[in-house]
Amino acid sequence: CRKNLDKISPDVIINLVALTVVDECEKNPNKAFLYNVKTAENLVEWIKTAGKKVRMIHISTDHVYNDKSPQTEEKVNLINTYAVTKYRSEKVVSQVDATVLRTNFFGFHKEDAERGFLGYIMKSLKSDTHFYISTNAMFNPLSIETFCDCILAVLRKPAGGVYNVGSRGSGISKGDFVKEICKMLGVSDKLMIPDNISYFETKSMRPVDMRMNCDLFEKTFDVRLPELKDEINKVLAGKIQ
Protein backbone atom coordinates (compact mmCIF):
# COMPACT_ATOMS: atom_id res chain seq x y z
CA CYS A 1 0.00 0.00 0.00
CA ARG A 2 2.72 2.48 1.00
CA LYS A 3 4.86 1.64 -2.05
CA ASN A 4 1.93 2.23 -4.39
CA LEU A 5 1.06 5.51 -2.69
CA ASP A 6 4.69 6.64 -2.87
CA LYS A 7 4.71 5.85 -6.59
CA ILE A 8 1.39 7.55 -7.39
CA SER A 9 1.80 10.41 -4.89
CA PRO A 10 -1.89 11.42 -4.97
CA ASP A 11 -3.19 14.84 -4.00
CA VAL A 12 -6.55 13.34 -3.03
CA ILE A 13 -7.42 9.92 -1.62
CA ILE A 14 -11.01 8.63 -1.73
CA ASN A 15 -11.29 5.73 0.69
CA LEU A 16 -13.92 3.26 -0.54
CA VAL A 17 -12.48 0.23 1.26
CA ALA A 18 -14.93 -1.37 3.70
CA LEU A 19 -16.42 -4.61 4.90
CA THR A 20 -20.11 -3.70 4.69
CA VAL A 21 -21.80 -7.08 5.27
CA VAL A 22 -23.24 -6.51 8.74
CA ASP A 23 -23.42 -10.19 9.75
CA GLU A 24 -19.87 -10.83 8.53
CA CYS A 25 -18.62 -7.94 10.67
CA GLU A 26 -20.39 -9.37 13.71
CA LYS A 27 -19.05 -12.85 13.09
CA ASN A 28 -15.49 -11.70 12.34
CA PRO A 29 -14.79 -8.46 14.26
CA ASN A 30 -11.05 -8.70 13.57
CA LYS A 31 -11.75 -8.80 9.84
CA ALA A 32 -14.11 -5.84 10.23
CA PHE A 33 -11.36 -3.93 12.07
CA LEU A 34 -8.82 -4.79 9.37
CA TYR A 35 -10.99 -3.52 6.51
CA ASN A 36 -12.80 -0.65 8.19
CA VAL A 37 -10.22 0.75 10.60
CA LYS A 38 -6.74 -0.51 9.75
CA THR A 39 -7.02 0.58 6.12
CA ALA A 40 -7.91 4.09 7.28
CA GLU A 41 -4.98 4.05 9.73
CA ASN A 42 -2.56 3.06 6.97
CA LEU A 43 -3.79 5.84 4.70
CA VAL A 44 -3.56 8.43 7.48
CA GLU A 45 -0.01 7.32 8.34
CA TRP A 46 1.01 7.80 4.71
CA ILE A 47 -0.63 11.22 4.47
CA LYS A 48 1.19 12.38 7.60
CA THR A 49 4.54 11.53 6.02
CA ALA A 50 3.73 12.46 2.40
CA GLY A 51 5.62 15.73 2.58
CA LYS A 52 2.79 17.61 0.90
CA LYS A 53 -0.85 18.49 1.41
CA VAL A 54 -3.12 15.50 0.72
CA ARG A 55 -6.88 15.62 1.07
CA MET A 56 -8.98 12.61 1.99
CA ILE A 57 -12.61 11.76 1.30
CA HIS A 58 -13.73 8.92 3.54
CA ILE A 59 -16.99 7.04 2.89
CA SER A 60 -18.90 6.10 6.04
CA THR A 61 -22.41 4.84 6.76
CA ASP A 62 -25.87 5.68 8.06
CA HIS A 63 -25.58 2.61 10.32
CA VAL A 64 -24.08 4.88 12.98
CA TYR A 65 -27.63 6.18 13.63
CA ASN A 66 -30.55 4.53 15.41
CA ASP A 67 -32.95 7.16 16.67
CA LYS A 68 -36.25 8.73 15.66
CA SER A 69 -36.64 11.41 12.98
CA PRO A 70 -33.94 12.49 10.49
CA GLN A 71 -30.74 12.66 12.52
CA THR A 72 -28.02 15.29 12.42
CA GLU A 73 -24.34 14.39 12.41
CA GLU A 74 -23.84 14.45 16.19
CA LYS A 75 -26.64 11.98 17.04
CA VAL A 76 -24.61 8.77 16.90
CA ASN A 77 -25.98 5.50 18.31
CA LEU A 78 -23.83 2.43 17.62
CA ILE A 79 -25.47 -0.99 17.97
CA ASN A 80 -23.33 -3.41 15.94
CA THR A 81 -19.71 -4.12 15.02
CA TYR A 82 -20.08 -2.65 11.55
CA ALA A 83 -21.22 0.69 12.98
CA VAL A 84 -18.52 0.68 15.67
CA THR A 85 -15.69 0.04 13.20
CA LYS A 86 -16.96 2.61 10.70
CA TYR A 87 -17.33 5.24 13.42
CA ARG A 88 -13.85 4.47 14.69
CA SER A 89 -12.50 4.93 11.17
CA GLU A 90 -14.08 8.39 11.10
CA LYS A 91 -12.10 9.31 14.20
CA VAL A 92 -8.92 7.98 12.60
CA VAL A 93 -9.24 10.08 9.43
CA SER A 94 -10.08 13.19 11.45
CA GLN A 95 -6.34 13.41 12.19
CA VAL A 96 -5.79 14.71 8.64
CA ASP A 97 -7.56 16.98 6.15
CA ALA A 98 -10.58 14.72 5.65
CA THR A 99 -14.20 14.94 4.56
CA VAL A 100 -16.36 12.12 5.93
CA LEU A 101 -19.53 11.28 4.01
CA ARG A 102 -22.09 9.18 5.88
CA THR A 103 -24.41 7.66 3.34
CA ASN A 104 -26.56 4.80 2.10
CA PHE A 105 -26.68 4.30 -1.65
CA PHE A 106 -28.32 1.84 -4.00
CA GLY A 107 -27.87 0.75 -7.60
CA PHE A 108 -26.71 -2.14 -9.71
CA HIS A 109 -23.17 -3.52 -9.65
CA LYS A 110 -21.64 -3.48 -13.13
CA GLU A 111 -19.96 -6.85 -12.62
CA ASP A 112 -22.79 -8.56 -10.72
CA ALA A 113 -26.29 -7.06 -10.91
CA GLU A 114 -27.51 -9.41 -8.17
CA ARG A 115 -25.22 -8.03 -5.45
CA GLY A 116 -26.35 -5.60 -2.78
CA PHE A 117 -29.77 -4.72 -1.37
CA LEU A 118 -31.35 -3.78 -4.70
CA GLY A 119 -29.77 -6.77 -6.43
CA TYR A 120 -31.24 -9.07 -3.76
CA ILE A 121 -34.71 -7.65 -4.38
CA MET A 122 -34.45 -7.81 -8.17
CA LYS A 123 -33.06 -11.35 -8.14
CA SER A 124 -35.93 -12.51 -5.91
CA LEU A 125 -38.56 -10.85 -8.10
CA LYS A 126 -37.02 -12.28 -11.26
CA SER A 127 -36.84 -15.83 -9.87
CA ASP A 128 -40.28 -15.62 -8.22
CA THR A 129 -38.69 -16.30 -4.81
CA HIS A 130 -39.89 -14.99 -1.46
CA PHE A 131 -37.50 -12.56 0.21
CA TYR A 132 -37.19 -11.12 3.72
CA ILE A 133 -37.23 -7.39 4.41
CA SER A 134 -37.10 -5.57 7.74
CA THR A 135 -40.08 -3.54 6.59
CA ASN A 136 -40.10 -1.05 9.48
CA ALA A 137 -36.46 0.02 9.12
CA MET A 138 -36.33 3.66 7.96
CA PHE A 139 -33.71 5.24 5.68
CA ASN A 140 -33.20 7.87 2.98
CA PRO A 141 -30.71 6.45 0.47
CA LEU A 142 -29.29 7.91 -2.74
CA SER A 143 -28.55 6.34 -6.09
CA ILE A 144 -24.90 5.50 -6.61
CA GLU A 145 -24.85 7.88 -9.59
CA THR A 146 -25.98 10.82 -7.47
CA PHE A 147 -23.56 9.90 -4.71
CA CYS A 148 -20.69 10.05 -7.20
CA ASP A 149 -21.86 13.55 -8.12
CA CYS A 150 -21.74 14.42 -4.41
CA ILE A 151 -18.13 13.29 -4.23
CA LEU A 152 -17.36 15.55 -7.19
CA ALA A 153 -19.05 18.43 -5.34
CA VAL A 154 -16.68 17.86 -2.40
CA LEU A 155 -13.70 17.85 -4.74
CA ARG A 156 -14.82 21.15 -6.27
CA LYS A 157 -15.37 22.85 -2.92
CA PRO A 158 -13.14 21.28 -0.25
CA ALA A 159 -14.42 21.35 3.32
CA GLY A 160 -13.45 19.11 6.20
CA GLY A 161 -15.79 17.50 8.70
CA VAL A 162 -18.57 14.92 8.81
CA TYR A 163 -21.62 15.17 6.55
CA ASN A 164 -24.80 13.18 5.99
CA VAL A 165 -25.52 12.46 2.32
CA GLY A 166 -28.93 11.04 1.41
CA SER A 167 -32.11 11.84 -0.45
CA ARG A 168 -34.38 14.75 0.47
CA GLY A 169 -37.58 14.39 2.47
CA SER A 170 -38.61 12.41 5.52
CA GLY A 171 -37.27 9.07 4.32
CA ILE A 172 -39.03 5.79 3.71
CA SER A 173 -39.33 2.35 5.29
CA LYS A 174 -37.51 -0.48 3.55
CA GLY A 175 -40.88 -2.15 3.07
CA ASP A 176 -42.28 0.89 1.26
CA PHE A 177 -39.04 1.15 -0.70
CA VAL A 178 -39.63 -2.36 -2.03
CA LYS A 179 -43.27 -1.58 -2.77
CA GLU A 180 -42.24 1.51 -4.72
CA ILE A 181 -39.82 -0.57 -6.78
CA CYS A 182 -42.48 -3.19 -7.48
CA LYS A 183 -44.95 -0.47 -8.45
CA MET A 184 -42.52 1.09 -10.91
CA LEU A 185 -41.71 -2.32 -12.39
CA GLY A 186 -45.39 -3.20 -12.66
CA VAL A 187 -45.08 -6.34 -10.52
CA SER A 188 -46.68 -7.52 -7.28
CA ASP A 189 -44.93 -7.16 -3.92
CA LYS A 190 -46.46 -10.42 -2.65
CA LEU A 191 -43.05 -12.12 -2.55
CA MET A 192 -41.85 -9.80 0.23
CA ILE A 193 -41.97 -11.35 3.72
CA PRO A 194 -42.05 -8.57 6.35
CA ASP A 195 -40.07 -8.85 9.59
CA ASN A 196 -39.93 -12.62 9.89
CA ILE A 197 -38.75 -12.96 13.52
CA SER A 198 -37.46 -16.52 13.13
CA TYR A 199 -35.24 -15.21 10.33
CA PHE A 200 -34.02 -11.97 11.86
CA GLU A 201 -33.42 -13.23 15.41
CA THR A 202 -30.39 -15.16 14.16
CA LYS A 203 -28.90 -12.06 12.58
CA SER A 204 -26.97 -9.09 13.92
CA MET A 205 -28.68 -6.13 15.52
CA ARG A 206 -29.64 -3.55 12.92
CA PRO A 207 -30.77 0.07 13.30
CA VAL A 208 -34.50 0.70 12.98
CA ASP A 209 -34.13 4.34 11.93
CA MET A 210 -31.17 5.48 9.84
CA ARG A 211 -32.79 8.58 8.32
CA MET A 212 -30.33 11.43 8.00
CA ASN A 213 -30.75 15.18 8.06
CA CYS A 214 -28.61 16.31 5.12
CA ASP A 215 -28.99 20.09 5.49
CA LEU A 216 -25.34 20.59 6.42
CA PHE A 217 -24.09 18.89 3.26
CA GLU A 218 -26.43 20.88 1.02
CA LYS A 219 -25.47 24.17 2.64
CA THR A 220 -21.72 23.54 2.73
CA PHE A 221 -21.32 22.24 -0.82
CA ASP A 222 -24.12 24.17 -2.55
CA VAL A 223 -25.90 20.99 -3.58
CA ARG A 224 -29.62 20.28 -3.75
CA LEU A 225 -30.14 16.59 -3.08
CA PRO A 226 -32.89 14.77 -5.02
CA GLU A 227 -36.14 13.19 -3.85
CA LEU A 228 -36.02 9.42 -3.29
CA LYS A 229 -38.75 8.62 -5.84
CA ASP A 230 -36.72 10.39 -8.51
CA GLU A 231 -33.68 8.35 -7.50
CA ILE A 232 -35.58 5.06 -7.77
CA ASN A 233 -36.90 6.10 -11.18
CA LYS A 234 -33.39 6.92 -12.37
CA VAL A 235 -31.92 3.61 -11.25
CA LEU A 236 -34.76 1.50 -12.63
CA ALA A 237 -35.01 3.37 -15.93
CA GLY A 238 -32.89 0.81 -17.75
CA LYS A 239 -34.66 -2.13 -16.14
CA ILE A 240 -38.25 -1.28 -17.07
CA GLN A 241 -39.16 -3.00 -20.33
150/20 Cα distance (integer angstroms): 20
User: pTM of the predicted model, to two decimals?
Assistant: 0.91
CA distances from 26 to 21, 47, 105, 118, 225 (A): 9, 30, 22, 22, 32
DSSP result, 132-147:
EE-TT-EE--EEHHHH
pLDDT by 10s per residue, the chain, length 241: 788 999 999 999 999 999 999 999 999 999 999 999 999 999 999 999 999 999 999 999 999 999 888 999 999 999 999 999 999 999 999 999 999 999 999 988 776 666 778 888 888 888 888 888 887 889 999 999 999 999 999 999 999 999 999 999 889 999 899 999 888 888 888 888 886 444 455 567 889 999 999 999 999 999 999 999 999 999 988 654 3
Alpha-carbon separation of residue 52 from 10, 13, 49, 56, 93 (angstroms): 10, 13, 8, 13, 17
User: What is the rounded distance in angstroms from the CA atom of residue 43 to the CA atom of residue 59?
Assistant: 13
Tens of pLDDT, residues 120-174: 888 888 888 888 888 788 999 999 999 999 999 999 999 999 999 999 988 999 9
Domains delineated in the chain: 2-236 (3.40.50.720)
